């Protein structure tokens, strides 16, 4: 019995210790980001691998999510005679929640795991050690560019996801089902506030980008330099990032969308 508590205690302390270590790592990456920003070509290269290569999955998923929203939304709304509110439903769902969250999850599983695997493998094949031996800081040269590439790519991907989704909702709602096109767009424009909804969605995606990329580079850098170590780190990146996105989404939504007038 006592052993059980002991093990629980060790698990908790280990997690807390790891969190502290991860936080120090984050601070170190930020402090040594000079190279990544001065030699922007490095960051651009990583943006290609993280952002551009994720475009296909983001656009296709966005389209399908939007189309499903259009279908399901219509089914429910037309029962209350409010099928003209379809535009509002699709737009708000995407811009406020689904855009940042789903694209964040997709980014974590595609680009996040790739970053972790890459850094982990570089560690396992001693490439990071070789870099240090040549007096080049691997965190400045390898880790920081990937971090900033992720942070910069995420809001763009989320915006494209939402845009594709709204287009998908339009395709299904207006073209396929026959909701009035004018009502679709005008009601949407009347209800979606660019500051309250769109901007907040962008802020969410930036926060998610920071969280996902931080976890990805940390897990890669911290991985045990063996095959199992790298594969375990990759899995952990996807799992931890996904949980972090969902938890942060709740916190941000609570902060942003609880309304309130006179502040």
Partner 1 sequence: MKRSTIDIWVGVFVAAGFVGLLFLALRVGNLTFSTSQTYQVQAKFANIGGLKKRAAIKSAGVVVGRVSDIHFDNESYEAIVTFNLDSQFKFPRDTSAKILTSGLLGEQYVGLEAGGDGAMLRPGDRLRLTQSAVVLENLISQFLFNKAAEGKDEAKTGKYGK
Partner 2 sequence: MVEIEKLSFGYDRAEPVLHDIDLEIPAGSVVGIMGQSGCGKTTLLRLIAGWLKADAGRAQVLGEEIGRLDARRVFALRRKMGMLFQFGALFTDMTVFDNVAFQMREHTELPEELIGDLVAMKLEAVGLRGAAQLMPSALSGGMARRVALARAIALDPTLMLYDEPFTGLDPISLGVIARLIRTLNDSLDQTSIVVSHDVEECFAIVDYVYFMAAGRIVAHGTPQEMRGSKEAFVSQFVQGATDGPIPFHYPAPDYEPDLAAAPHG
Q: Which residues of the shown chain bind partner 1 in the complex (CB under 8 A)?
A: 41, 44-45, 47-48, 51-52, 55, 91, 95, 153, 155-157, 159-160, 162-163, 166, 185, 188-190, 192-195, 197-198, 201-202, 259, 261-262
> Minimal CA–CA distance to 104: which of 221, 249, 235, 219?
249
By beta-carbon proximity to partner 1, the closer residue of 42 and 128 is: 42
Q: Which is nearer to partner 2, 41 or 81 (CB)?
A: 41
For the bound state, the minimum distance from the C-beta of residue 17 to partner 1, rounded and expressed in Å, comes to: 38
Residue 71 binding target from partner 1, partner 2, none, CB below 5 to 8 Å by type: none
Task: Choose among partner 2, partner 1, none what residue 157 binds, the Cβ cut-off being 5 to 8 Å by kind.
Answer: partner 1
DSSP 203: H
Query: What is the C-alpha end-to-end distance of the chain, expressed in Å?
Result: 52
Of residues 19, 124, 107, 116, the one with CA closest to residue 61: 107
Pick the closer one to partner 1 by CB: 73 or 201: 201
From 1, 2, 4, 135, residue interacting with partner 2 (rule: CB under 8 A): 135
**Of 5 and 80, CB closest to partner 1:** 80
Residue 259 touches which of partner 1, partner 2, none (Cβ within 5-8 Å per kind): partner 1
Please tell me the distance from the alpha carbon of residue 99 to that of residue 79, in angstroms, as a whole number: 26
Q: Which of 253, 84, 59, 257 is closest to 166 using CA atoms?
A: 59
By beta-carbon proximity to partner 2, the closer residue of 48 and 64 is 48
Q: What per-residue string of b and e applies to 155-185 under the rule 16 or more CB within 10 Å gives b?
A: bbbbbbbbbbbbbbbbebbbeeeebeeebbe
Quickly tell me which residue has 């040594």 as its tokens.
Answer: 32
Taking the complex as a whole, the smallest distance from the CB of residue 138 to partner 2 amounts, in Å, to 11
Which of the residues 89 through 128 are near partner 2 (CB under 8 A)? 122, 125-127
Q: How far is CA 24 from CA 29, 31, 196, 206, 238, in A?
A: 9, 10, 33, 21, 21
**Centroid of chain to Cα 203:** 11
- Under the binding rule (CB under 8 A), the answer on residue 129 touching partner 2 is yes
Residues that bind partner 2 (CB under 8 A): 122, 125-127, 129-137, 141
């Amino acid at each position: 019995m006592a052993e059980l508590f002991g093990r629980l205690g060790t698990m908790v302390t280990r997690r807390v210790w790891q969190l502290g270590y991860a936080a120090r790592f984050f601070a170190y990456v930020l402090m040594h980001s000079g190279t990544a920003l001065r030699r922007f070509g490095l960051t651009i290269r990583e943006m290609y691998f993280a952002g551009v290569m994720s475009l296909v999955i983001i656009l296709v998923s966005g389209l399908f999510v939007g189309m499903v929203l259009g279908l399901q939304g219509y089914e429910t709304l037309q029962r209350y005679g409010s099928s003209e509110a379809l535009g509002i439903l699709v737009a708000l769902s995407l811009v406020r929640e689904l855009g940042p969250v789903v694209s964040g999850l997709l980014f974590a599983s595609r680009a996040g795991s790739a970053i972790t695997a890459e850094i982990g493998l570089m560690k396992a094949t001693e490439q990071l050690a070789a870099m240090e031996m040549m007096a080049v800081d691997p965190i400045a040269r390898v880790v920081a560019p990937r971090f900033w590439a992720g942070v910069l790519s995420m809001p763009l991907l989320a915006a494209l996801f939402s845009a594709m989704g709204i287009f998908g909702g339009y395709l299904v709602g207006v073209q396929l089902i026959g909701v009035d096109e004018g009502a679709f767009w005008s009601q949407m424009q009347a209800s979606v506030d660019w500051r309250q909804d769109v901007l907040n969605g962008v802020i969410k995606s930036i926060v998610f980008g920071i969280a996902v990329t931080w976890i990805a580079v940390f897990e890669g850098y911290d991985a045990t330099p063996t095959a199992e170590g790298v594969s375990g780190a990759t899995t952990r990146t996807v799992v931890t990032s996904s949980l972090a996105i969902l938890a942060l989404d709740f916190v941000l939504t609570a902060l942003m969308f609880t309304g309130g007038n006179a502040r």
